[in-house]
Amino acid sequence: MLRSVSRTFALSIEQLPQILRDAITVSYLLLRVSDCLEDHAEMAPERKSELLRIWASILDEGLPVETLTREIADLDSDDPEVYVAQHASRVLEMLAGLPDPIQAAIIERVAKTSRGMARWQDHGPFVEDEAELDDYMHEVAGRVGYLLTDIFAWHSPRIRARKAELMPLSREYGLALQTVNVIRGMRQDYHRGWVFVPRSFYERYGLTRDSLFDPENVDLSMQVVRDLADKAERHLHHGIDYVMAFPRRQHRVRLACMWPLFFAVRTLAVSRNNRDVLLSEAKIGRDEVRGIIRQTSLFGWSNQWLHVYYDRLAEPPHPPIEMPARAIATSAAGG
């Protein structure tokens, strides 16, 4: 299930020690049930919010899981997220096998996230300003940062001793990843009726939520993208502080947090000046993903190295150098 819904996060999770791998796999899949209910393209917002609240009550009030799975039996199980949601009973069985403190943390955070998603479905597909965007992102990603810290602190006494310091950084870590997701998914979200870009961001350039995606306005719209990228960078800087706050001996924990962060750093660098982010999607290639994994696996224990590598990944790609037509013709002729 994990690999079917996210190969990238599976890479991070599967290299963790066994108990952490189990706990975070379960957490991730439970959150994907919530994501399925929030993002499904064919569901009405009223149905989404109702199902999200049912799911939260299954988690923390003991409502039978069949209350949800009966309601979503009509959805297409070829969609990996739908498949996970329709088999939520299996994920809950895995949850029941975890230590009690971990179960309690997972249930609390996922239930609150699901109710937060329901509140935003009731709110509707408009975001007024940066404060509203942060509120949405806290519900869907900031709480996930809290959950990661809960699990890591339970596992490691050294991390537990720094939990108070780590908690606000973990929220920033979640907001960092989500802000990059907002940028990367702008066009796709627009097609399903949502614009997470705050109205205050595009109205300062005389744009509307529709004209933001008009190809004729691409230069102005890219200014909005860059403003969002600046916001993402502020969160990402706190995100790297979160990673570096973990003890160097917890290298696999650091890697599990480092890889999604560095993928986001590089995705942001690729997106900042890339019009594809408005037309379709800007993303990094598999070679870059492999390179990040290889480099961080070797050197990611060093905080000094992480600072340097972060700066390198954050540099926008250099545009290709265009040769004059005469030079191209001369080269082709062997001159």
Q: What is the mean pLDDT, run by run of 10 residues, along the chain of 335 residues?
A: 90 94 97 96 94 98 97 95 97 98 98 98 96 98 98 97 97 98 93 94 97 94 97 97 96 96 96 90 89 96 96 80 34 35
The CATH number of the domain covering residues in 1-123: 1.10.600.10
Contact status, residue 187 vs residue 213, Cβ threshold 8 Å = yes
Q: Supply the pLDDT for residue 323.
A: 30
pLDDT confidence of residue 238: 97
Tell me how far apart the terminal alpha carbons of the chain are, to the nearest angstrom.
57
What's the pLDDT score for residue 237?
96
As assigned by CATH, the class of the 125-317 domain is: mainly alpha
Predicted pLDDT of residue 318: 62
Looking at residue 325, its pLDDT comes to 34
The pLDDT, as a whole number, for residue 192 is: 87
pTM: 0.91
Residues of the chain with CATH 1.10.600.10: 1-123, 125-317
